[in-house]
Amino acid sequence: MIEKTKILVIDDDEAVRRSHERVLASEHCNVEMVFNGNEALRVMEQHIFDVVLLDLRMPGMQGMAVLKTIKGRWPESEVIIITGYPTVESAKEAVTLGAYDYLAKPVDPDAVINAANGAMLHKRWALRCDQNARGVCIQ
């Protein structure tokens, strides 16, 4: 039996959270939602997520700080930034901090699905590489 992908959606806009939940649940993912970075970190202490969809601008802890914390504490979780305020500078910073992808709102549901699928493939590939004692990726 294949385990469902566990996805955490972090966004202060309830409509955005619900939209991502509907799209990803239709792809047979387990989706949990939180409204800010502090709540996200609390939830991640209790559950490991495969993929995190992260907004950059939220009340309290901003998205880049959340990204940095997630990649520092749970490096196996792939993070996809989805922001309504995209800039080249924030995209560069996100990638430097370890984000898998960076999407601009409004985002097409297919783009969310494709990014989540790509993140899971990347995670599985990285885990295979880590498990190989010689340091060469296994096919």
**What per-residue confidence (pLDDT) applies to 132?**
55
DSSP label at residue 60? S
For 21-59, the pLDDT digits (tens) are 999 998 889 999 999 999 999 999 999 999 999 999 999
**3-class SS shares of the chain: helix, strand, coil, % to 5:** 45, 15, 35
Task: Report CA-CA distances (Å) from 115 to 48, 85, 109, 112.
Answer: 19, 18, 10, 5
Task: Kindly indicate the confidence band of residue 1, based on its pLDDT and cuts at 50, 70 and 90.
Answer: very low
**What per-residue confidence (pLDDT) applies to 129?**
65
Helix (H, G, I), strand (E, B) or coil at 81: strand
Given the candidates 3.40.1710.10, 3.30.70.260, 1.10.620.20, 3.40.50.2300, the CATH classification of the domain at 6-131 is 3.40.50.2300
Query: Which residues, in sequence order, are CB contacts of 117 under 8 Å at separation 6+?
Result: 27
**What per-residue confidence (pLDDT) applies to 2?**
52
pTM recorded for the entire structure: 0.89
